[in-house]
Amino acid sequence: MINGRTQLFGIIGSPVEHSLSPAMHNAAFAALGMNGVYIPMRVIDLQDGLRGLRALGFIGVSVTVPHKVAVMAFLDAIDPVAQKIGAVNTLYFQEQPDDTPLCKGYNTDWLGSNQALAEEIDPQGRTVLIIGAGGAARAVGFGLLEAGARVLLTNRTETKGRELADELNCTFVPTADLPMVQADALINTTSVGMAPLDDALPIRAELLGNFSVVMDIVYAPLTTKLLQAAAAHGCRTIDGLKMLQYQGAAQFKLWTGADVPGAVLRNALLAELNRR
C-alpha cells in the first residue's frame, strides 16, 4: 500500500526496463512488512536526475549502465572501496540536520560476487581465473583480491585484459595459455552465453575439468551453456542470479539496516525471470 509515509528507492540507468532489481527489492519490502517502494527510472541527464532524487527525498538508489562511473562526479562522498574499484552501483541519501541530504556512493557488486562464490568455496588463498576485462570483471577481480584470492585474468582482447590485470596487480593469461591453467574457480564476467547468443562458450569446454567451481554472471538463461558444460565436467556451479541477489541484499541492508532472507530475493528474481 503506497501512502504518504512510503519511502522511495529505485534504480537509475538507461535502459532500465530489463532490470530485475525492482522485483527483488519490492519483494523484500513486502516480506518484511516495510512501507517502501523501488522503481525503475531511465535517467538521461545524470546531474539533473540526481538533483531530482535528492529534492524528492529518495533514500536509496541503485546505479546501472551507463552511469556507474559517471555518477561519481556528482556525489558528496564515495566509499573508499568504491573509489578503488572506480565504479558506484549504490547511492545512499543520508539525512542531515539542515535537511539537505548527503549523497554517498558505494559499490556492492564485489560483495555480491564474493558472497556468491562463497556458497561453494572460500576465496581466501584460492586461485581464481576471471574471464573478461569490462566493468564487471573489475568489481569481481577487486572483490577476489580483497578476499585474499590469487587472481588470474584472461580476455579476448589481450591489450584490454593486460591493462586491467596490471591495474589489479594480478596475472594476465593469454588465450593460448589457458590449457595450462589449473584453478579452484573460474568466473565468467563477459556477456558470452547470454540470450539470444546462448549457444556460445567463453572458454573451451574441454578445459573446464581444470576448475573445481564455475560461476557465471550471465543469468538469462539461468543455466548457461557454460554452467551446463561445467556440470558435465564435474564442476560445482554458481548461476548469475546469485551475484545479483547478494549485491541486492547488501544494498537493502545499507539503506534499511534489515537483513532479507536469501530465499525471498532468489524467489522474486526467479519469478520475474520466468515471467519474461
Gap between the Cα atoms of 113 and 104, Å rounded: 22
Whether 252 and 31 have beta carbons less than 8 Å apart is answered as: no
CB 155 within 8 A of CB 178: no
**Could you tell me the smallest distance in angstroms from the CB atom of residue 152 to ligand ATR?**
14
Residues that bind ligand ATR (CB under 6 A): 132-137, 155-157, 160, 189-192, 202
CB-nearest residue to ligand ATR: 134
**Cα atoms found within 13 Å of the Cα of residue 118, Cβ hemisphere only:** 13
What does the alpha-carbon distance between residue 12 and residue 16 come to, in Å, rounded to a whole number?
Answer: 7
Please say which residue, 43 or 192, places its beta carbon nearer to ligand ATR: 192
Query: Which one of 68, 104, 225, 242 is the catalytic residue?
Result: 68
Residue 113 Cβ vs ligand ATR, minimum distance, rounded to whole Å:
12
Report the residue number, 149 or 153, with the smaller CB distance to ligand ATR.
153
Which residue, 25 or 138, is less far from ligand ATR as judged by CB? 138
Considering the complex, what minimum distance in angstroms separates the CB of residue 90 from ligand ATR?
Answer: 16
Task: Determine the Cα angle at 108 with ends 76 and 143, to 5°.
Answer: 115
Residue 134 or residue 174: which is nearer to ligand ATR going by CB? 134
Amino acid occupying residue 223: T
State which amino acid sits at residue 28.
Answer: A
* Least separation in angstroms between CB 202 and ligand ATR: 6
Is residue 187 a contact partner of residue 117, using CB atoms and an 8 Å limit?
yes
Taking the least distance from each CB to ligand ATR, the nearer of 89 and 189 is: 189
Nearest distance in Å: CB 208, ligand ATR: 16
- Asked if 225 is an active-site residue, the reply is no
CB contact burial 21-57 (16+ within 10 A = b; e otherwise):
bbbbbbbbbebeeeebbbebbebeebeebbeebbeee
The catalytic residue positions are 68
